[in-house]
Amino acid sequence: EDQVTQSPEALRLQEGESSSLNCSYTVSGLRGLFWYRQDPGKGPEFLFTLYSAGEEKEKERLKATLTKKESFLHITAPKPEDSATYLCAVRANYGGSQGNLIFGKGTKLSVKP
Amino acid sequence: GAVVSQHPSWVICKSGTSVKIECRSLDFQATTMFWYRQFPKQSLMLMATSNEGSKATYEQGVEKDKFLINHASLTLSTLTVTSAHPEDSSFYICSARPGDSYGYTFGSGTRLTVV
From chain B, the residues in CB contact with A41 under 8 A are: 91, 109, 111
Closest by alpha carbon to B74, among B51, B47, B94? B51
Structure confidence by residue, pLDDT tens digits, B15-68: 999 999 999 999 899 989 999 999 888 889 999 999 888 889 999 899 999 999
Please judge whether A105 and B97 are an interchain contact, meaning their C-beta atoms are less than 8 angstroms apart: no
Side-chain-side CA neighbours of residue A80 (13 Å): 2
Note whether B42 contacts A105, CB cutoff 8 Å. yes
Beta strands in chain A (DSSP E): 3-7, 10-14, 19-26, 30-38, 45-50, 56-59, 62-66, 70-75, 84-92, 101-103, 107-112
Q: Which residues of B touch A34 (CB under 8 A)?
A: 103-104
Q: Does B13 touch chain A (CB under 8 A)?
A: no
Residue B48 bridge partners (DSSP): B35, B58
Closest partner residue to B97 among A45, A98, A106, by Cβ? Answer: A98
CB–CB contact B46 A34 (8 Å): no
Partners of B42 on chain A (C-beta within 8 Å) are 105
Counting residues of chain B whose pLDDT is more than 90, the rounded percentage is: 76
The percent of residues in chain A predicted with pLDDT above 70, rounded, is 94
Q: What does the pLDDT profile of chain A (113 residues) look like in tens digits? A: 788 999 999 999 999 999 999 999 998 888 899 999 999 999 999 999 999 999 999 999 999 999 999 999 999 999 999 999 999 999 876 654 456 788 999 999 999 99
